[in-house]
Amino acid sequence: MKSGYRLTLWLFLAPVLLWLFLLIVIPHLDLLLMSFRGESGVGNPVWTLQNYKNFFTEPIYWRTFVRTALYAVITTLCTFVLALPVSFYIAKLARPRTRGFLTVLLLLPFWVSELVRVYGWMILLRESGVFNYVLLKMGIIHQPVEMLYNDVTMIMGLVYTSMLFMVVPLISVMESLDDSLIEAAYDLEASKFAILRTIIIPHCKPGITSGAIVVFMLALGNYLTPNLMGGKNSLWFTEQIYNQFIASFNWNQGAAFGFLLLVLSSLIIWTGLKVTRQRLGEVAS
Amino acid sequence: MANDLSVRELVRTFGDFTAVDDVTFDVPQGSFFSILGPSGCGKTTLLRMVAGFDEPTSGTIAIRGTDMCGVPPNKRPVNLVFQHLALFPMMNVAENIAFGLKRRGMQSAEISRKTQAILERVDLPGYGDKRINQLSGGQKQRVAIARCLVMEPSVLLLDEPLGALDLKLREQMKVELKKLQAKVGTTFIYITHDQSEALVMSDRIAVMNNGRFEQVGPPRELYSDPHTPFVARFVGENNAWSGTVEEVDTHVRIRTEEGLLFRARSHDAYPAGTRVDLFLRPEALRIEPEGKSLNTFKVTVKTILFDGANSRLLTVTPKNHELLVSLPQNRQFDYIQPGDIITLDWHPDSGLCFEA
Amino acid sequence: MKKVTLLAALCCFLFATAAQAETLKILTWKGYAPKALIEKFEQETGIKVEATFSNNEEMIAKLRATRGAGFDLAQPSQDRISSVQEKFKIYQPVDYAKIDAKLFIPSMLDAVKKNTKVGDNSYAVPFCWGTSGLVVNSEKAPGADDWNALLDPQYKGRISYRLKRPTLIAIGFALGYNPFDLYSDATAYKAMLDKVAETLIKAKPLVKNYWANGDALLESMRSGEVTVAMAWDNGGWKLHADNPAIDFRAPKAGALGWIDTFAIPSKAKNVEAAYKWINFMMKPENAGYFTTQEKVATASLDANAHVSADVRANFERTFPKETIDNIKWYPPVPAKLEGMEGKILDKIKASK
């Protein structure tokens, strides 16, 4: 009887396990192996750490990573600062019907592909674009200004793309915040800012952390937005991986970069959790 | 004596609904004042206006003579103990208590001294490092009160803080709260729907119904001399009859709908023929009296509701009108069994009638 | 229960037969398989055509990932075949007996055969050719007639090019090198690339953006945001049709000439259909239709009669005899260079 139950369990689990193994574990193992392969001087394949060494010895590679990580952190911070009041409004102040409407409004941009969204921004911001047209007509500027292809625009694009992933976890933790805690703090002579700092943010910590992890990873792993909106001045680390695979045909180097991205980003998140004294298990629950 | 709180002609409406309707009262310094009423009577709205979470539609609230109109909650010299206490779960006991003092920018040495002192005062010395979820219900209660008292408010507001406790603890906390209030001398304004809480603790009670104060007075006065049928029904237990006034002398003579004739006190001078409600406390009914008066009648015992000193008989008149009768536990009436027919009598002064 | 099994079996059978219907999977560039020609081909042969659009680099990466499977026909540029084939073995030799040689311009067929030779076999036949050069708005940049216009401060903020290897080569020419001569000398080529990188980094404030999408570039030129760009000739001609001031211009140093080919992946399933498509596309009327549509000349011998007059006018205007003779055709790229170029391109993009 019991073994029959076990068998059924395994039968049900089999597709999931197979899927995990075939589509996630094996390709990653293949990439991992590939990252340790290289060519000897005469062009024969050999095992080597050279691909990893390249990352640390070539300033352009690690600088690109540092820049990417830094901008991903900035994006995460900006997203948080913007998402906090939005989610507070939706979770606490809006009437139930407005709340549904606002949530749909937030979701709406995600019904089109990222490419379309980014092109939408480009139409607005380009030199002959909508914003410039309006500003010129209003006489605020006299020469069209190129608003694309700079870091501010790129971060704005990244924030726009990741907003939802911060707002949703924040709304769900804020809904669990008892209004009377806020009132109690208010009653105990706390200013609005003190309430935010001492009550709301500590309560929302798990949501903030999970939102921040998702946004950070999304920004770090983004390819389209930095490439199209950042333009000529921004090499994103993912783009460098793509270039290694596609333009330089150096799959070994690309695989090594991929794993470095995985390891380094995990390290950054781990550090972030340590600094804010949290555990991943708490965040996930 | 100075008043800590003066409320004048206070009105609060939500659309067509009037939650608080022209309420005026004063709370003298150092007293324990309760607002008693059924849920939905407007007492919480009234309290939130005093605390500053809600603005009155009209009327004024003054604390120690200062008008509070437009003053936000964090600037008012009142503190509120919330119904579910609203202790901050992300902080320990000491941090909860120190919260308000920190917001005032007090020195940390001073804060910790005050925190220690107030914890001792509420009998929780050494509890400062405990997490909130490590405390029992009664301890949480005391922390919530300490958190407010440490702010040294002019008035402490309490919004049914005993509601979440179990019965035994509630009984105990009633006494403790009363003692605590006497000890610290702060003015307490206590909101409850439980008449026994109000009666036990308060110096004065306001009975509130449909947004209005029906009667304000000391507990005994409310109990023995209710001014309205609502107060008579709501404060303490009461038996009620409907009847008609037949004759008026020093008392009134009333014929109930089932034909019984009684002499009772009347709230006002009602002419003969007025339809009235007659109220009679269970403890006013004497079992098997010696002698006979107009107010003597017979009932059938249905059940014995044994509750120690508070034991009662549930009886019915021949026309099936239910009456509760106090059953003194002095063994005198141990023989009474369900189904017995017993004689009851009561003094004309203990029955009170209101125009229906 | 039995019914369900039967139904499942039936479904499997239906899917299997559907999959067996003959298809031809082409990995190609956008525009290289016009819808009308696909329909015509399907009508003539009954073979279904599935086209996937890509570019040189992705084509190679895709075939490399599957070791030459998944497609029956690919269309890489001729200079990107031999080194890739040597290293990754993703194509199979072309059986020239199955190619209708009469349809091709003989010199071009021979050149591609020669350039894609690895060992004893050749791996491609020519399909079409074109050039990279300058697309110029002559009202706003009348003087732009050579590669160094891309570095000219007077067009500041109005310049655009791709950040890809052709640009490195163009700038190499602008700096007075002949990059193609340096192909065989990796050290000298590296030295040139360093110089090119330095130049391009210094020129960053001048360039508006590095374009990645052809349609987006055309839009920028149409709106006047860009007045000098490095682009393909057909793009310039498309713009010329809308605005006569804009046109393709072959640089004095010579336009960069490319030939896109047909090559058959090593694990192609439907090789016969691939040959049928090659011969079909090279028929004068089909090649002519393609040229008219895409403004790209083909290696088809007699297609000219089927090309519309305005498209022919483009060729005649842009390519007089001496310009044609001056085209610098891409020689096959030695394997080592691409890694080197990749690093240089990253460096340029990353620097401020």
**Crossing angle (nearest 10°) for helices C284-294 and C271-282:** 70
* pLDDT class of A207 with cuts at 50, 70, 90: very high
B84 and chain A in contact, CB less than 8 A: yes
Interacting residues of A190 by C-beta distance below 8 A, sequence separation 6+: A198, A199, B74, B99, B100, B103
pLDDT at B205 over 90: yes
| 3-class state of residue C318 by DSSP | helix
Cα B74 to Cα A186: distance, rounded to the nearest angstrom: 5
A-C Cβ pairs (cutoff 8 Å, strict): 71
- Convert the pLDDT of each residue in C179-204 to its tens digit: 999 999 999 999 999 999 999 999 99
* Position A21 in a domain: no
- Residues A255-274, mean pLDDT to the nearest whole number: 91
Task: Please state the domain count of chain C.
Answer: 2
* Position A62 in a domain: yes
Chains contacting B (3+ CB pairs below 8 angstroms): A
- What pLDDT is attached to residue C2? 47
- Residues A238-256, mean pLDDT to the nearest whole number: 87
Is pLDDT larger for residue A174 or for residue B293? A174
Chains B and A touch (3+ CB pairs under 8 A): yes
- What pLDDT is attached to residue A204? 93
- Convert the pLDDT of each residue in B216-232 to its tens digit: 999 999 998 999 999 99
% chain B with pLDDT above 90 = 66
- What pLDDT is attached to residue A281? 66
CATH architecture under which domain B3-233 falls: 3-Layer(aba) Sandwich (3.40)
State whether C342 and A248 contact (CB < 8 Å). yes
A202 and chain B in contact, CB less than 8 A: yes
Output the six-digit token pair for C240.
């010329």
Of C336, C325, C335, nearest in space to C131 by CA: C325
Of B46, B62, B30, B23, nearest in space to B215 by CA: B23
Domain B237-355 falls under CATH 2.40.50.140: yes
Q: Which residues between 48 and 107 in chain A have a beta carbon less than 8 angstroms from any beta carbon of chain B?
A: none
B105 and chain A in contact, CB less than 8 A: no
* pLDDT class of A43 with cuts at 50, 70, 90: low
Q: Domain of A120?
A: 53-284
- What pLDDT is attached to residue C92? 95
ipTM score of the complex? Answer: 0.81
- What pLDDT is attached to residue C17? 45
* Position A24 in a domain: no
User: Least CA distance to A245: which residue of chain C?
Assistant: C61
- Please tell me whether residues C67 and C125 are part of one structural domain: yes
Q: Domain of C9?
A: 2-129+258-319
Chains A and C touch (3+ CB pairs under 8 A): yes
Of B51, B74, B88, the CB nearest to A189: B74
- What pLDDT is attached to residue A218? 92
- Convert the pLDDT of each residue in C291-339 to its tens digit: 999 999 999 998 989 999 999 999 999 999 899 999 999 999 888 888 8
* Position C197 in a domain: yes
Q: Which residues of C touch A227 (CB under 8 A)?
A: 212
Interacting residues of A165 by C-beta distance below 8 A, sequence separation 6+: A211, A214, A215, A218
State whether A180 and B86 contact (CB < 8 Å). yes
* Position A221 in a domain: yes
* CATH number (domain holding residue C151): 3.40.190.10
Arithmetic mean of pLDDT over chain C: 90
- Convert the pLDDT of each residue in A78-96 to its tens digit: 999 999 999 999 998 888 8
Q: pTM, whole model, 2 decimals?
A: 0.80
Cα B322 to Cα A236: distance, rounded to the nearest angstrom: 85
- Please tell me whether residues C170 and C96 are part of one structural domain: no
Interface test with A, best of C162, C217, C343 (most A CBs within 10 A): C343
Q: Which residues of C touch A251 (CB under 8 A)?
A: 64
- What pLDDT is attached to residue C1? 42
Task: Please state the domain count of chain A.
Answer: 1
* Position C325 in a domain: no
% chain B with pLDDT above 70 = 100
Arithmetic mean of pLDDT over chain B: 91
Strand partners of residue B252:
B248, B264
pLDDT at A254 over 60: yes
C346 and chain A in contact, CB less than 8 A: yes
% chain A with pLDDT above 90 = 39
**Does residue C39 contact residue C63 with C-beta atoms inside 8 Å?**
no
State whether B74 and A188 contact (CB < 8 Å). yes
What are the backbone angles phi and psi of residue B272, rounded to the nearest 5°?
Answer: -55, 145
* Position C324 in a domain: no
- Residues A33-40, mean pLDDT to the nearest whole number: 84
Q: Which helix (H) or strand (E) holds A112?
A: none
- Please tell me whether residues C238 and C292 are part of one structural domain: no
- Please tell me whether residues C224 and C303 are part of one structural domain: no
- Convert the pLDDT of each residue in B1-57 to its tens digit: 588 999 999 999 999 999 999 999 999 999 999 999 998 899 999 999 999 999 999
Hey, where are the domains in chain B?
3-233, 237-355
- Convert the pLDDT of each residue in A151-161 to its tens digit: 889 999 999 98
Of C210, C225, C342, the CB nearest to A250: C342
Q: Which residues of C touch A127 (CB under 8 A)?
A: 223, 225
Q: Which residues of B touch A277 (CB under 8 A)?
A: none
Output the six-digit token pair for A39.
């060519």
- Please tell me whether residues C147 and C158 are part of one structural domain: yes
Residues of chain C with pLDDT under 50: 1-7, 10-19
* Position A42 in a domain: no
B167 and chain A in contact, CB less than 8 A: no
State whether A187 and B75 contact (CB < 8 Å). no
- What pLDDT is attached to residue A38? 83
Q: Which residues between 151 and 180 in chain A have a beta carbon less than 8 angstroms from any beta carbon of chain B?
A: 178, 180
Cα B346 to Cα B265: distance, rounded to the nearest angstrom: 12
- What pLDDT is attached to residue A42? 60
DSSP letter at C330?
A: P
- What pLDDT is attached to residue A59? 86
Q: Which helix (H) or strand (E) holds C160?
A: strand C159-161
Q: Which residues of C touch A231 (CB under 8 A)?
A: 209-210
